Structures are given as structure tokens and as C-alpha cells.
Amino acid sequence: MIGYLTQTDDVTIATTLAAGGEVRTEIWAVVVDGAGYIRNGFGESSKWYRRAQRTHRAAFIDGDRRFGVTIEDVHDEATLESVDDAYRRKYRGPGLSAVLSSGTRRYTMRVVPRADTELEP
């Protein structure tokens, strides 16, 4: 999964609807010190973010492969700064300011691979 997050610009995250089923959304993701991170640049109104926060689980989809993850909120300043730097290195364009704004840093999440899902080859 870490290779997918590192090598893919727009990753696909699948989050679960409360009524069942899932929704796939393209988002940005970065890797810092071997761990994956995602950040919601659009605040609490983002549907994928609300679904991820409700269950603290999601999956990344790469073709036929699924990588299930547990989602952990991140609040420590050193990690937030490292995630900021990783976004600056990986991405360019108008969306970058949204994920780097001081108001959206609180929506930073670490994605931890679940043992019950496919491992990277």
C-alpha cells in the first residue's frame, strides 16, 4: 500500500455509507517515514471525510487490489509539519493551498494497513 500512496498522484479511497455500500473518491495522499497520511482540504463538509471519521476505516483501491486501512487522527505538530512538507514535495497546483492551510491541518489522518487485507507484493 505504501508504494501505491507514494507512486500515485490521485489515489482512490473507498469509504462506507451508513446505509451500506461504498463510495470511491480520488484524493491526495503522502508518505512520511514509511507511514501513509491523508488530509481533507475541504473541512467537515467533505462527505468522504465524514464517512471515514464515522467508521475510522477505509480502503485504497488500485485496480483489482484493495488495501484496507484503519484511520487515526493526527494532532502532533512535528508530524503535521512533516506531512505539510511531503505534500509540498509531491503536489503542485491550486489544490495544494487547500491541504496546507492552517484550518485544514486538523483534518490530517494516518492510514494504518489492516492485517485482514491484501498486502503489497
**Percent of the chain at pLDDT above 70?**
95
Phi, psi of 91 (to 5 degrees): -120, 155
Read off the pLDDT of each residue in 86-94 and give the average, rounded to a whole number: 93
CATH code of 79's domain: 2.30.110.10
Is 118 a member of any domain? no
Is 120 a member of any domain? no
Return the exposure string of 23-59: e unless at least 16 CB atoms fall within 10 Å of the residue's CB, then b: eebebbbbbbeebbbbbbbeeeebebbebbbeeebbb
Is 121 a member of any domain? no
Strand segments, DSSP code E, in the chain are 10-16, 22-32, 35-39, 57-62, 65-73, 108-113
Q: Enter the pTM of the model.
A: 0.92
Per-residue pLDDT tens over the stretch 40-89: 988 888 999 999 999 999 999 999 999 999 999 999 999 999 999 999 99
User: DSSP character for 118?
Assistant: P
Determine the pLDDT at residue 93: 87
Structural domain boundaries enclosing 62: 2-113
pLDDT at 99 over 60: yes
Is 119 a member of any domain? no
